[in-house]
Structure 1
Amino acid sequence: MSTTADHTNCLRCGRVLRSARSRSLGYGPTCARHIRRATVDLTDYKPHQVQSARELIEDGAIIPLRSVIFIAVSTDGTETYRTAPTGCTCPAGLKGSRCYHQLAARMLLAA
């Protein structure tokens, strides 16, 4: 039941993606490298949140909507949330907690 969406343009810079791997990730090799190397303060996040944020980015499950607002897919893929580095519409974000969606947004913006 897993479906993959191939992207024709990089979600970070907008350039045309040529390789099958880049299209499946949603990021070209240079942008993917920038995202992996992005320096973000992780002190407020638990290790599983950091891992989930990285998986969200690698799966192409967080898509920029505006300059600092993203659409993020839930872990089970049934819901989407509006997220930004300062807040999220997921259940944890609505309670005022930091969620991995926010961390993924911070990682993408730091890149």
Structure 2
Amino acid sequence: MQNTTTDQARCLHCHRILTSAKSIALGYGPRCARKIRTAIVDTTDYKTHQITSARELIEDGAIIPLRSVIFISVSTDGTETYKTAPTACTCPAGTKGARCYHQLAARLLLAA
């Protein structure tokens, strides 16, 4: 039986077709993943655990671009989603005006 689906996994950053199982699982091609890992973003206002959580959010593919600077982020426990931008987030911390790791993840993705 022949596969008739035309859906292909695409990089969440550059939208190129992903071919390796590792890239498909990550959601990013090797170049984009490297760019994201090495993106230079001012993290002085963030705690160490927030930086770690932001990188994990990206590595898990739990932050997805919605529009040019708006992302959909998944909560730590995976039960909720939030609209996230580099300067704002609808998560509980973000609605209180605090900087959350979702915002940092958005900054890292946009800097890559």
Range into which the TM-score falls when normalised by the shorter chain = over 0.9
Question: Structure 2: where are the runs of 5+ without partners?
Answer: 1-7
Question: Structure 1: where are the runs of 5+ without partners?
Answer: 1-6
* TM-score normalised over the length of structure 2: 0.93
**Other structure's SS at 2:42 match:** coil
Hey, which bits of structure 1, 4+ residues long, moved more than 2 A? Answer: none
- Counterpart residue number, 2:102: 101
* Paired residue total: 105
- Counterpart residue number, 2:18: 17
Map 1:2-41 onto structure 2 (within 5 A). Answer: 8-41=9-42
2:61 paired with 1:60: yes
- Counterpart residue number, 2:5: none
Q: Which amino acid aligns with 2:11?
A: C
Instruction: Find the aligned partners of 1:9 and 1:54 in 2 and give their Cα distance.
Output: 20
**Other structure's SS at 2:83 match:** strand
Instruction: Find the aligned partners of 1:95 and 1:78 in 2 and give their Cα distance.
Output: 20
* TM-score normalised over the length of structure 1: 0.94
Structure ID, larger Rg: 2
**Other structure's SS at 1:92 match:** helix
Per-residue CA deviation, residues 4-37 of structure 1 (Å, 9 max, x unaligned), is: xxx7000000000000000000000000000001
